[in-house]
Amino acid sequence: MWRALRLSGAAAAIAWSVFPIAMVVLSSFKPQREIFAIPPQLVFAPTLDNYRRLVTEWPAFFPNMLNSLIVTTGATLLTVLCATLAGYVYARFRGRILALSAFFMVLVRMLPPIVVTLPLFPFFSWLQVNDTHFVLIVLYAAFFVSLATWIMRAFIDQVPRELEEAALVDGAGLFQVLRMVVLPLVVNGVIAASLFVIVYAWNEFIFALVFTTRIARTTPLVMSEMLSTTDGVDWGVLFAAATVQLAPILAFILAAQRYVIAGLTAGAVKG
């Protein structure tokens, strides 16, 4: 009885989280006129028509997905690089200045991102970098470097410092120690830290809306345009686009599930 209750609870919870996703993925293989068929049809002849039209009618979609890929990669590299360096210092050293700077890192995390769009828009314009991948990379990194630093600090904390000391005695420099000794032991931390940036950068909407128009436009932005076109929403194409956009990131999250838990514990709860 108790178990049956638990199982039905789990079933309801899974339905809640998976139903909208499943509907969209399924509908992306439906012919246009059947998408809104009532009652909804679960059995239908699947078609790739929506995907074909995605390619022909939205030629910008795949180049924009490449933009997303570039921005996500860039932001992840930048974040992890900065976070590993800083996380190492916070894990290994103590002092008032460090405490103050660490507090500052936590503090700025509280500021709403939309706030910085106002001054940064003219500033990036002055630097002539509006509508470039660079802008998004730097923005995304700035908003995630603090969480990532906390994750890296937690992981580096667990690396026995004797190993470093041994290397230092052998005459290695600080960067050699970091690269040869510490980094290989905190790969899990790097994955956990990257994960959050990757999901964020791949899906981010508001910075992309404000700072990109054409050249660096990312996938969520094209999709928002599909939601408001002259001829009404072409749901089939939109669903095809959504499926293409979410498939890789969903697979990634599911595969890296345990790192999400580790990262959240290290970055949010302990920080």
Partner 1 sequence: MDIKRRNALAAGTALAAAALARPAIAQTRKFVIMSHAVHRNVSTGARGGDSTAAWRQRNNLEIEWLTFGVEAVHERLYREAQLSQGGVDMAFILERYGGPHIAPLFEDLRPYMDAAPIEKLDEISPSMLAAHTYRGKLIGIPFRHATHGFFTNNVMARERGVTQVPQSFEEVIAAADKLTYTRDGARVAGYALSMDDPSALMDIIRAHGGDFITRDYRFVADQPQAVAAIALVRDWYRRGVLPRNVMTFKTEEVITAMQQGRAALTNQPFGRIVNYNDPRGSRFPGEISVANIPMMESVAGRKGALVPAKTSVWAMAIPSNSPDKQRAWSLIRELSSVESTIRAAVNGNGPVRMSAYDDPRVRELAPYADLERRVLPTAQLTVPGFDQAGRAMDIFMEEVQKAMLGAAEPQAAMNAAKSRIEPLLPS
Partner 2 sequence: MTAGAAPLTAARPAARRARRLPGGTRPGASHYALLAPAQILLVGIILLPAIYVAWMSLQKVSFGADPVFVGLENYRALLADSVFWRAAWNTFLVVNAVVYGELLLGLGLALLVSGWMPYRKIVIALLIAPYAINEVSAVAMWRFVLEPDIGMVNWAMLQIGLGQLDWSADPADALVLAALLSIWIHTPFTFLILYAALQSVPQEIKEAATVDGANAWQSFRHVTLPFILPALLVALVFRYITAMRIFSEIWLLTEGGPARMTEVLAVYLYRAAFRYHEFGLASATAFAMVLLSLAVAAPYLYAAWLKMFRHA
Which residues here bind partner 1, judged by CB under 8 A? 63, 66-67, 70-71, 73-74, 77-78, 81, 121-122, 125-126, 128, 130-134, 137, 173, 175-176, 179, 210, 213-216, 225, 228-232
Site string for partner 2, 136-175 (x = CB under 8 A): --xx-xxx-xx--x-------x---x---x--------x-
Peptide bond into 31 cis (omega under 30): no
Helix (H) or strand (E) holding 211: helix 206-211
Do 66 and 83 touch, CB atoms closer than 8 A?
no
Residue number, 73 or 249, with CB nearest to partner 2: 249
69-106 residues labelled b (16+ CB within 10 A) or e (exposed)? bebbebbbebbbebbbebbbebbeeeeeeeeeebeebe
> In the complex, what is the shortest distance from the CB of residue 192 to partner 2, in angstroms, rounded to a whole number?
12
What is the spatial distance between Cα 98 and Cα 104, in angstroms, rounded to a whole number? 10
Report the site for partner 2 in 93-122 (rule: CB under 8 A).
Answer: 93-99, 101-108, 110-120
Alpha-carbon dihedral sign for residues 176, 178, 181, 186: negative
Structure tokens at 209: 């809306």
Q: Quick one: what does residue 137 bind among partner 1, partner 2, none, with the CB cut-off 5 to 8 Å set by partner type?
A: partner 1
Q: Contact letters (x/-) for partner 2, 202-221, by CB under 8 A?
A: xxxxx---x--------xx-
- The entry of partner 2, partner 1, none that residue 213 binds, CB within 5 to 8 Å by partner kind: partner 1
* Least CB distance to partner 2 at residue 160 (A): 10
